[in-house]
Structure 1
Amino acid sequence: MSRLAHRPCPSCGDTLQVHVLPAQYGGTVEIDFCFACHGIWFDQMENLKLAPEAIATVFKEMHRHHGEPRTPLASRMNCPECRSRLVQGFDIVRSGRYITHRCAERHGRFSSFSSFMIEKGFVRQLTKPEIADIAKKVGSIHCSACGAPVDLRKEDACSHCRTALSLLDPQAVEKALQAYAPAPARPTPPSWGSPEDIANAVLAVEKERCRVQREAPRPRMTVQQAGALGVDLLSVGLVMLSSLWDD
């Protein structure tokens, strides 16, 4: 049975967008996206039920909306089912630590796009020398987890939520895509190359974002967003991987 429509985002309150996706071992699972917050609401255990093709669809949706303004996550989030306050915590997997926001009544969890990618093992953490090299060209960016500014010249992790700086691992993403894709001649996953390559990609994505903003003015940035480039490393990785799923 389909869930009730018009459920609010736990953070910003906008209506969640429901996507019906394939589940493991047959059937479907309904996942709720908030593209304003760059987040996903999973009902209890839904994040573990996604089939490989469903994970690829999530990546496509994330990439489709990667350039849209991101609303900073609220300090208080409420469950879209019972409206009780979500409890913030951390989960740790091989690819790093990520933030979780869970309903104490076990209705589900809210994850940012970046947390979803870390949970699924699609990222690798940057080393301190890599961060130092990137900082020579890129001073500050946004934290992929919480959106706070990160000064790469002084920090090797977010000072607000302590999330490590990470980048998408193209081989891990391609492995997920190959699980369902019979299409021939799939492009070879790109190599991130040197930190200079990463820095150049960050600057290119920021340049394009600024061009779009000039053509379609956005609301003024919040204090939290000020002083940093409007991109984060995982968003940059999505752009660089776009050739893997472009039709």
Structure 2
Amino acid sequence: MPALPSCPSCRQPMQVHRFASNMGPELELDICFACQGLWFDRHENLKLSPRAVVELFRLLHEHRADQHHPLPERMACPRCDTSLARGFDVVRSGRYMVYRCARQHGRFSTFSSFMVEKGFVRHMTRPEIDDLAKRVGAIYCTSCGAPVDIRKDHACPYCRAAFSLIDPDAVVRAMEGYAQAGARARLAGAAAPPVDIGDALVALERDHARAERERQQRAFSSASSADDVSFTGDLLAAGVALVWALVKD
């Protein structure tokens, strides 16, 4: 049995998941949930079928509350171990960061970059940013994954990307016609509800805090407070939770 490919970021074995292709045979994508990253062999990112995107959303939702590792400065291709080159691609919904193998073996994308690539995000409005600034200390940049102090920065200081979030309207439009029958009927008959991204972030952080308290209690250490509003909000995880509520069976 061949060894599983190593994650370009943490170098631990990645999980292999099969997805439907729009070009015939199934695709085998390598995923590291600890680093929230996907490895695409050459052009695989263009071959995912619409149904595969639904399945990917399911996986992202299942792992939305996982603790994840920051990406290191150097990442290596899982095929040839050469350093990956960091760069940007631009689509209608914005620009996103990718890490490419110079020998053209493929590319590494974070979950958030993949969502930007597929057009499932939109730029946040000024009122949304102001509301979040009152409720969270920082957010993770949807383009590069860096933590950003939303109270003082108006764009990511690392990659200069505008603040973005997953747009349920865009996801609904993309998923109509290929989601499960019950979800398809539901999507066709109703518009997406308003995005209360702040509430979703707070709920997600409370889940994190509860899990952390349980870990600390098991280790006989002091519990942390779930009321601390200085946490870093993960817009990707919160957006996936909101969208999955629309498309699940």
Q: What's the TM-score once normalised by structure 2's chain length?
A: 0.86
Aligned counterpart, 1:43? 41
Q: Residue 64 of structure 1 is aligned with which of 62, 65, 85?
A: 62
Q: Which consecutive unaligned segments of at least 5 residues does structure 2 have? A: 220-228
Q: Which moved more, 1:202-211 or 1:128-137?
A: 128-137
Q: Separation in 1 of the partners of 2:230 and 2:104?
A: 36
Aligned counterpart, 1:178? 176
Q: Separation in 1 of the partners of 2:63 and 2:38?
A: 13
Residue identity matched to 1:126: M
What value does the CA root-mean-square deviation take over the aligned residues? 2.3
Aligned counterpart, 1:212? 211
- 8 Å CA contact retained: 1:11, 1:77: yes
Residues 112 and 189 of structure 1, relative CA distance in 2, 3 Å threshold: farther
Q: Which moved more, 1:64-73 or 1:160-169?
A: 160-169
Q: Separation in 2 of the partners of 1:72 and 1:92?
A: 23
Q: Which moved more, 1:37-46 or 1:162-171?
A: 162-171
Q: Separation in 2 of the partners of 1:168 and 1:146?
A: 15
1:171-202 per-residue CA deviation (whole Å, 9 max, x = no partner) reads 22123332323513435464335xxx322222
- State the percentage of identical aligned residues: 49
Aligned counterpart, 2:163? 165
Aligned counterpart, 2:7? 9
Q: Separation in 2 of the partners of 1:132 and 1:19?
A: 39
Aligned counterpart, 2:197? 198
Measured after TM superposition, the shift of residue 239 of structure 1 is: 1.2
Q: Separation in 2 of the partners of 1:228 and 1:44?
A: 40
Residues 14 and 200 of structure 1, relative CA distance in 2, 3 Å threshold: same
SS of 1:213's partner is helix
Residues 186 and 10 of structure 1, relative CA distance in 2, 3 Å threshold: same
Q: What's the TM-score once normalised by structure 1's chain length?
A: 0.87
Aligned counterpart, 1:224? none
Q: Residue 150 of structure 1 is aligned with which of 129, 148, 151?
A: 148
Aligned length: 235
Residue identity matched to 1:114: S
SS of 2:208's partner is helix
- 8 Å CA contact retained: 1:142, 1:229: no
Aligned counterpart, 2:238? 236
Q: Separation in 2 of the partners of 1:211 and 1:144?
A: 25
- 8 Å CA contact retained: 2:34, 2:69: yes
SS of 2:135's partner is coil
Aligned positions of 1:20-39 closer than 5 A: 20-39=18-37
Aligned counterpart, 1:246? 248
Q: Separation in 2 of the partners of 1:201 and 1:161?
A: 25
Residue identity matched to 1:232: D
The structure richer in helix per residue is 2
Q: Separation in 2 of the partners of 1:214 and 1:146?
A: 29
Q: Which consecutive unaligned segments of at least 5 residues does structure 1 have? A: 220-226
